[in-house]
Amino acid sequence: MRKLVAANWKMNGLKAGGVMLARDLAKRVATGKLSSELVICPPATLLIAVAEALKGSSIALGGQDCHADEKGAHTGDISAVMLKDAGCRYVILGHSERRIGHHESDADVRAKVLAARKAGLAAILCVGESEAERQAGKTLDVVSRQLADSLPPGLAGMDAANLSIAYEPVWAIGSGRTPTPAEVTEIHAGIRRALGSQLREVRILYGGSVKPQNARELMTAPEVNGALVGGASLALDDFWAIARACG
């Protein structure tokens, strides 16, 4: 299974710097040996510029969120078909910063997954527990519930290429703290079981304070099929080191 490494730039970057970062990464991919698939998810304001910078590159473009509707009176939102039209192949959905900061429910996320699927985008669906849930020993219960309630019913094996799951423990994001490789393996194995046989080819990514110093041990752990990278994706050398750690 080819690993996927996704750069989530979050609300960072202006045009000049974003284009330069995308171009420099594309140059490294063109000249360096890399077996992993890369995707850059910039802010919506940079989608067109980054798409142009990546033209001719194997690096894919992704959005950071989408609305469940194709169009309408939703000021400030962006639809899945708009992302597709801008050149996106991926979209991040259900990130904890959306679930918490924008009060998105599992039902909201499920509607967005359906919209992405209809538009022909590959969804990167995020799940993860809070520190309190982790300390209570509820990690697997929480991520299993999020999967069950955030994924549309009736997904078939053919959807595996258009879906990835990103396990991002909320307590690890931006904190510099990460679970051990053994803990990540256990949780990813639990996610794999929860997905069932129909979705056995779905890639399960790890996210949450991924950096060059811990990337190799995390990315070589069993059941880890790539990474969703936040802050470290804004530094070319750091993101490249993580991508190389994935193969």
Q: Which residue has the tokens 């129909």?
A: 198
DSSP code string of 97-158: HHHHHS---HHHHHHHHHHHHHHTPEEEEEE---HHHHHTT-HHHHHHHHHHHHSPTT--GG
Is residue 12 packed enough to be buried (19+ CB in 10 Å), middle (13-18) or exposed (0-12)? middle
Residues 140 and 192: beta-carbon distance below 8 Å? no
Report yes or no: 90 and 122 within 8 Å, Cβ to Cβ: yes
What HEC string does 158-212 produce? HHHHHEEEEECCHHHCCCCCCCCHHHHHHHHHHHHHHHCHHHCCCEEEEECCCCH
* 74 is known as an active-site residue: no
Alpha carbon distance 167, 121 (integer Å): 20
Q: How many CB atoms lie within 10 A of CB 183?
A: 14
Of 67, 104, 168, 188, catalytic: 168
Residue 168 appears among annotated catalytic residues: yes
Which of 95, 104, 129, 188 is flagged as catalytic? 95
Give the C-alpha separation, 63 to 177, whole Å.
Answer: 26
Give catalytic residue positions.
95, 168
